[in-house]
Structure 1
Amino acid sequence: MATLKITKKHHKRLNNPFPSTPTSLPVIHGSLFFNSRTLPSRQIYSFGKDFQLAWHSDNGGCISIYHQSQPTRPLWSTMPGQPFVSAALAETEVEESRGSFVVKDGLVHLVCNHQSIQEIKVINQFDDFSEGEDLVFPSGYFPEDHNQFPLLLITGWIFSGTKKNKSFPKSGLNENIPLEAKGPSTCARYWVLFDQKCNDQIGFQVKLGHPNFELRQKASPNTLGRYRGFRRRLRPFRRRKFWWCWSFAKRRGFVISSSEEEIEEMKAKESQEFNRVWFTYSSEGNERFYGFGEQFSHMDFKGKRVPIFVQEQGIGRGDQPITFAANLISYRAGGDWTTTYAPSPFYMTSKMRSIYLEGYDYSIFDLTRDDGVQIQIHGNSVQGRILHGNSPCELIECFTESVGRPPQLPEWIISGAIVGMQGGTEMVRHIWNELKTYNVPISAFWLQDWVGQRKTMIGSQLWWNWEVDTTRYLGWQQLLKDLSARQIKVMTYCNPCLALTDEKPNRRRNLFEEAKNLDILVKDKHGEPYMVPNTAFDVGMLDLTHPAATTWFKQILQEMVDDGVRGWMADFGENLPVDATLYSGEDPISAHNRYPELWAQINREFVEEWQSNHAGKEKEDPEEALVFFMRAGFRDSPKWGMLFWEGDQMVSWQTNDGIKSAVVGLLSSGISGYAFNHSDIGGYCAVNLPFIKYQRSEELLLRWMELNAFTTVFRTHEGNKPSCNRQFYSNDRTLSHFARFAKVYKAWKFYRIQLIKEASQRGLPVCRHLFLHYPDDEHVHSLTYQQFLIGSEILVVPVLDKGKNEVKAYFPVGDSCSWQHIWSGERFIKQGREVKVEAPIGYPAVFVKDGSTVGQTFLKKLRDLEIL
């Protein structure tokens, strides 16, 4: 029997600083067979209104799908002679520690790594399938949301080898993963359905029958010549006659001769479903893969295995020595290049191919082969979509048309700096006066310590009890009124967790106890509130599958907004335990990836409900609008989230978890539908230990200000150890620089408004990798953090290395225009080359398209603000 084994690593005091790579099933190899009596050597099948599937039997058989407008460009193709559907039954092992997760493959009971195609059939809307037709479809699996007939169905069998014919070694199993293979072959029916969803999207579904064991080894063919005999021995299923839904009838039994022990073992396994499915198809050696959500280390993932699981990004993520130290102190806390708050099972390629998975099962995209892609799904079925587009922008538009796009941001949040600080009422008023002296354009004060602050092992942390601490913020409502009178909003902080507050001196409500009494917290296996370790304290998590939890938390938000708050950070959402018990009863591993979307949905619903109740007031004051921003996410998060930030980067220059990673996360998330994103100015995570120190330097802070002046939102953060970090208010130089780049940010507000509107309509990000507009320039394909575009009209080449005063700017091939340097006015006409450009502090390398309306308006705004 397949089981789930979960190991908690929360409280280990010392850990391996170099944790081992998780054991995982590698690429599965096998063979493809087909029935030459039912399949012609070549055939084109039309389905929907715009797509075709081509079958040919050359080289062992191959399937390709095309848009009818481009019959020579395949959107998806199988690998000749190789299976595109495989499956297994395996144990799952999960290690968990404080928001970090590792999913492993354990004992493998069986692998069906060979596939046969019995029939490819076009299904028309009013087809009547009689009892005599050889077509079976699982109950409840016929698509309810199909838009355009005909559909296309592929049916057949998947099956394993045996010890005798030595097919198991061909499965490519890792020697470290035990395989339980005792001789009997295994087979199961499969169904693959393609249907057109809209003009440029194909839905695909893969469904498997239960594994069934034939103890006569000759029933597992390993040559095409033996296929027909094998097919005759797999006696047909009985069927029910419903045109919309075919259901299983009981399988007619095989004639077997075996011991009672073997029979009972086979019956036990036959009662289970597969829990691993592989979907395999072709790729090209020079094909680049972009997307996969918010990724911080790479832009192109060809040659890599990309796991899709929401979790903490880690501290260091491979940068040393901090990753070593983080792993030593807390199990796998360092993370690696794969760990991220907001993954997405979506990609697009340099060949303009794009696929995404639906559902929330854990998956791994294996791109290690030059000629193929293999997606491993931890489940018993696969659903997803194949997208058609002729450019990266078209593919993003197609993707976000399905998963959703963000609403337009209110103008107030993009008009000036979001001043992130802490310290209480008097400190806020003091900094406000300082900023007035330097004439800093301010949109809002973001006061995350509005709930009170406490000291823990990692630095300054908040009391997770979502009410204002009136001791720390004496005169809270008057402060908000005074700021509002100057058109400055106040933003706060919350998350879906609640801490024990017995030690908090001035608590008015105990939200943890309230939620516990309402029975709306996530439960453990004993039915008690699941206390989740988080850094130095444990918390209870709201069960967001419980309707009462939604209602209750919206009341918390309402009380916050009633005081005059107009925005908040909706933090966390990535740490749902995978052995939790939920109100909905759903599998917690799948719910884990869905949880950040539910968290975003609750916040978004509250915003929309509040706005509908204040519609009249909004007409009087269009800026009377709410905004929240968050870090955790999954595929559909752009639909629910209003604004994102990239989480907790190190206060460093490093690649995997410093200022460079902030650029990569910005651009990868933009390709994946996260149109509005930004990072903390200066980074967040500082370390002040005797043997290792990471403290925010003044140079890093100034360069991060320059970088973030060209993102959607310009927001500061003091970090987890404010006293160790240089702050925007530290001295005259930092305040002057902050004022200068708040004005630079303000100068392109007119263009930001255009791009935000475009994002809400088309899904295109504000900050863009050059691949989006120059996909034919191969040099652009290899860029990561070096430079990026604002829309299509502004090119930014930030300084991301300590002590550097020049950069290499690359001017892409594709437009007939030249680029103008905003500081010197120099024009760069030649395309396809790198040029060294001076970039001293205060003058980052920024260019506008020569002669463009956007560029000239930006330059004029800079002059008006006395920046030029």
Structure 2
Amino acid sequence: MALFSKGQLGRTCLFSLLFFLLSTQYVNARDYVSHQVSGDNLIIQTDDGQITLDYLTDFSVEVSFEPNLGKQSQVTASFSLVEQTEDVKVQLEQSDNQLIFNSKQLSAVIQKSPLNIKYIQQGTLLVREAGGFIANSNTQARGIQFKLAPNEKILGGGERVLGMDRRGNRLPLYNKAHYGYGTESTQMNYGLPAVYSSNQYMILFDNPASGWLDIGKTKADVLAFEAKLGQLTYVVIAGNSFSDLTTQYVNVTGKQPMPPRWALGYIASRFGYHSEQEARETLNLFEQQNFPVDAIIFDLYWFGKDVQGHMGNLAWDNKAFPNPEKMIKDFKQAGVNTVLITEPFILTTSKKWQNAVDNQVLALDKTGNPKTFDFYFGNTGLVDIFKPEAKAWFGNIYHELMQQGIAGWWGDLGEPEVHPADTLHQVNGNTLVADAIHNAYGHEWAKLVYQNQQLNYPNTRPFILMRSGFAGSQRYGIIPWTGDVGRNWDGLKPQVELSLQMSLFGLAYTHSDLGGFAGDNLDEELYLRWLQYGVFQPIYRPHAQEAVAPEPVFHSEKVQNIIRQSVNLRYQLMPYLYTMAFENSQTGKPLMQPVFFASQAPQDIDNKYDYLWGDDFFVSPIINSGVTEKTVDLPEGQWFDFFTDQIYAGGKTQKVAVNLESIPVFVKAGAFVPMVERVENAAHYSSEQLTLHYYHDPKVIKSDGYMYEDDGKTANAFTKGLYEKLKFNATFKPEQAQLNFNFKRDVGAKPYQGMPENRELTLVVHQAVKPRTIRVNQKDVTIAASYQQYQQTNSSAWFNSQTKQLMLKTNWHTQAVEISIK
């Protein structure tokens, strides 16, 4: 439903001009004139402007150019970067021909004439400019070029379906929905002006204006960023590994706050629930058919009975929802959270139109009046999300709804889906045209919702589902999804690629509408495979047009029985998943990791179908119908089939039998996987009864792991010391055939609400050898003769000779637990 205005068509002509300029290598050669150092900044005067290098951290440097072209209009401050509060220790070396500006990790080597900069980490060349900044007053062409190495692979650009290596593509930087996409898409709802290189560096082009990212398309060995408007700024980021690159990136763009635990459970959603009665009946089915559920999302119908004509009401339709506050309260008492969709469009037919006009919250046209235009939903204006008056007006609406009990938000159409080029926005006191700010609209919207919640509900964690944003949006708690994907096998195929690409840039909660969104295709096998994959993606949210129900409770008994197992598994794995969420909040580590993170091998970059789920799982989704056997390329090491315990050697290609009950999932030898019993939802979550699986292999001599716990809802719980880390250690002594465990509880400054004083711990050792003796804290443990005898005792062990699993029960108080198995 994304439409084009005349202004957008004109934009195509403009960028054709830019394409011509760069394809003919039209760049401004410039020469050094003088320099000075100020703090951790190096300021260089050239014959046509000023270049400033500012070390943000030891691993990252920001480079900006201000040309001598008079006042530059449509230039914005940074949206992507967090404020750096400490100067980086730097050193400057100089000679007649060059300057070398160093931090501990990264060097910028500046050639004086013609001026050019290359970047070196610990003696290794990462990347160098190819001609420098472009800034010409006649053509208004603006940009920067870099030299690409011959075999270099380039990832990035945000949500696109092009394969992991995006080299050879010219990508529009203009957030735009792609309805019903499948196996190819060059432009989608969340673009990023940033790249990630196989040569272990990243570049962020810090400009939200409409533009292009040319990755060796026009010229095979040149990476180019182009835009007509906005600042000329880029950031080069280095890292000590591929994974560390992402950590260094979020150190300058911001870390994702922990989501509430309920956000990781099953979320009921469709387009959409038409009434309170329909919503209640649907949730009743979840209960009757024994499906866990943590939240329900209301699409457009909460404020109007029709899709068209009501957008912007932003208040309950009391005919369809006669008592929303009671409904929300009833759901909450059952542990189900309520989430509402909102959009930034206020239709001229909506109940809030005149109020929005009177409060001056809408973007304007050139005459100073609210800009109005037609799109699918009706004649509309657009909230000027950058304007203080609009922030206050919109924020007050969110505040009033949260007072009713709303727990989370869905921001839709936030590209914005239709954004005429002549629309005027007020940004930091400046009037900017739409093209100067388009790609930051969703980012600023997420910021508004996040900061409004921080102000009014400082102890509540955010749930902010957004279709569009910018670099750095993760620090505002944004949970992106991959747009209106086609409900077919071609729609399922690119989902791993999309999530991996976004996760490299800190957007680790990127996920798909499970089952597919667009169309009326009823394919039970496709539905099963998509929802089975969903167990191992960041957010579990089936969502679709209502021609085919996205909720499993409306499908056949066969489908329900299989999906129920998958959803229950999602909840059983909550301790593992929640620990990944914690790690992401601290380091930016993705929940879904590309396999090259583990191998550090550039050739693995091209794998767009398989991934690591945290550090310990390898997942290979089924993306075609009728599959009974799949070939997988396992990473190095030994791997256990998660469902059968069969062991596979890594570092080679393996053939794996596939059935309809599950997808190929493997666990790394030496891994600790904590699990809990299946619960109705996060409101009933407890780790008081904890099962800890250890995947034993004689080649793994030492292994460590941990599990993070808090109350699942308090904002900044870790910073406040309201947490607990359960630390696991295993040591194997081959000469004695002895396996030792040591478990410790590391409690924060004080116990969090609901923290168990004692845990009933069940240790499950996979691929164990029948033990002769077992000791827990120096005391012998009885080895039961049968499983029935094992179940009847509080502290005992049992070895299953058929599965080769050893099960051990013990109580885990505050003191450490030491276990010795011979």
Note whether the superposition's TM-score is higher than 0.5: yes
Deviation readout 1:728-766 (Å, 9 max, x if unpaired):
423323332332221111122111111111111111221
Q: CA deviation at 1:102?
A: 8.3
Who is 2:226 aligned against? 376
Asked if the contact 1:417–1:441 (Cα under 8 Å) also holds between the matched residues in 2, the reply is no
Going from structure 1 to structure 2, the CA distance change for 1:805 and 1:287 (only over 3 Å counts) comes to same
Residue pair 1:284, 1:370 contacting (<8 A) in 2 also? no
Matched residue of 2:661: which SS? coil
1:95 aligns with 2:9: yes
Which letter maps to 1:105? S
Separation in 1, partners of 2:150, 2:644: 42
Question: In 2 relative to 1, CA 101–684 (structure 1 residues): closer, same or farther, beyond 3 Å?
Answer: farther
Name the residue aligned to 1:148.
40
Query: Residue 574 of structure 1 is aligned with which of 415, 425, 429?
Result: 415
The change in CA–CA distance for 1:392 and 1:192 in structure 2 (over 3 A counts) is same
**How far apart are the structure 2 equivalents of 1:646 and 1:114?**
36
Equivalent residues in 2 for 1:115-514, closer than 5 Å: 116-119=29-32, 123-125=36-38, 147-148=39-40, 151=42, 153=44, 155-156=46-47, 189-210=48-69, 272=137, 275-316=140-181, 337-368=185-216, 369-379=219-229, 382-420=232-270, 422-449=273-300, 451-454=302-305, 463-501=311-349, 510-514=351-355
Q: Hey, what's the Cα distance between the residues in 2 that align with 1:758 and 1:589?
A: 36
Match of 1:745 among 570, 573, 578: 570
- SS of the counterpart of 2:9? strand
Q: Percent identity?
A: 20
Asked if residue 782 in structure 1 is aligned to residue 633 in structure 2, the reply is: no
Identify the residue that residue 469 of structure 2 maps to in structure 1.
633
Distance 1:113 1:416, change over 3 A: closer
- Partner of 1:677, secondary structure, is coil
The one-character-per-residue Cα deviations of 1:666-724 (angstroms, maximum 9, x if unpaired) are 111101210212211111111xxxxxxx524222211111111111221121x234358
Structure 1 residues 532 and 673: alpha-carbon distance in aligned structure 2, compared to 1, 3 A threshold: farther
Asked if 1:827 is matched to 2:647, the reply is yes
> Cα distance 1:858–1:273, how it changes in 2: closer, same or farther (>3 A)?
farther
TM score, norm. by length of structure 2: 0.69
Alignment deviations for residues 499-555 of structure 1 (CA, whole Å, 9 cap, x no partner): 2446xxxxxxx1122112222112223333323433252322101122111111112
Matched to 1:579, the amino acid is D
Instruction: Classify 1:305/1:271 alpha carbon distance in 2 versus 1 (closer, same or farther; 3 Å).
Output: closer
Amino acid aligned to 2:514:
I
Counterpart-to-counterpart distance in 2, 1:862 and 1:455:
54
Which letter maps to 1:582? H
Please tell me the residue identity of whatever aligns with 2:333: A
Report the counterpart of residue 366 of structure 2 in structure 1: 525
Q: Could you tell me which of 509, 526, 533 is aligned with 1:676?
A: 509
Provide closer, same or farther for how the CA distance between residues 373 and 308 of structure 1 changes in structure 2, counting only shifts above 3 A.
same
Q: Gaps (5+ residues) in structure 1?
A: 1-6, 12-92, 126-146, 157-188, 212-269, 320-335, 503-509, 616-623, 687-693
Alignment partners' CA distance in 1, 2:389 and 2:282: 41
CA distance in 2: counterparts of 1:478 and 1:862, whole angstroms: 44
Measured in 2, the distance between the counterparts of 1:430 and 1:310 equals 37
Query: Cα–Cα, structure 1 residues 403 and 102, in superposed 2: closer, same or farther, change >3 Å?
Result: farther
Name 1:237's counterpart in structure 2: none
RMSD: 3.2
Native 8 Å contact 2:165 2:606 kept in 1: yes
- Name the counterpart of 1:600: 446
Residue of 430, 436, 440 corresponding to 1:590: 436
**Matching residue of 2:15:** 104
Matched letter for residue 656 of structure 2: V
> Partners in 2 of 1:417 and 1:858 — Cα distance?
27
Contact in 2 for aligned 1:821/1:845 (Cα 8 Å)? yes
1:798–1:119 CA distance, 2 compared to 1 (3 A): same
User: What is the distance in 1 between the residues matched to 2:385 and 2:247?
Assistant: 30
**Shift of the alpha carbon at 1:850?**
1.7
| Change in CA separation of 1:731 and 1:357 when aligned onto 2, cut-off 3 Å | same
Pair 193,296 (structure 1): closer, same or farther in 2 beyond 3 Å: same
After superposition, the Cα gap between the structure-2 partners of 1:389 and 1:523, relative to the gap in structure 1 and judged at 3 Å, is: same
Instruction: Supply the AA of the counterpart residue of 2:510.
Output: N
Aligned to 1:16: none
Tell me how far 1:588 sits from its aligned partner. 2.1
What stretches of structure 2 of length at least 5 have no aligned partner? 71-134, 676-690, 695-761, 766-804, 806-822
One-letter amino acid of the counterpart of residue 276, structure 2: T
Distance 2:355 2:628 in 1: 56
Q: 1:352 to 1:515 in 2, by over 3 A?
A: same
- Match 1:697 to one of 519, 523, 528: 523
Counterpart Cα distance in 2 of 1:271 and 1:702? 55
Separation of aligned partners in 1, 2:230 and 2:454: 37
Deviation of 1:345 after TM superposition, in Å, equals: 1.2
The 5 Å alignment of 1:799-818 reads 799-813=622-636, 817-818=637-638
Q: Compared with structure 1, are the counterparts of its residues 728 and 291 closer, same or farther at alpha carbon in structure 2 (3 Å cutoff)?
A: farther
Shift of 1:799: 0.6
1:661 maps to 494
Q: Quote the residue 1:854 is aligned against.
A: 673
- The alpha-carbon deviation at position 398 of structure 1 amounts to 1.2
Distance 1:452 1:740, change over 3 A: farther
Aligned to 1:323: none
Per the alignment, in what secondary structure is the counterpart of residue 710 of structure 1? coil
User: Structure 1 residue 473: deviation in Å?
Assistant: 2.2
What is the CA-CA distance between 1:599 and the residue it aligns to? 0.8
What amino acid does structure 2 have at the position aligned with 1:123?
Q
Aligned residues between the structures: 609
Between the aligned partners of 1:448 and 1:117, the Cα distance in structure 2 is: 54
SS of the equivalent of 1:513 reads: helix
TM-score (normalizing by structure 1): 0.65
Contact 2:207 2:231 in 1 (8 A): no
Conservation of the 8 A alpha-carbon contact between 1:101 and 1:311: no
**Counterpart residue identity of residue 583, structure 1:** Q
Report the Cα offset of residue 148 of structure 1.
1.6
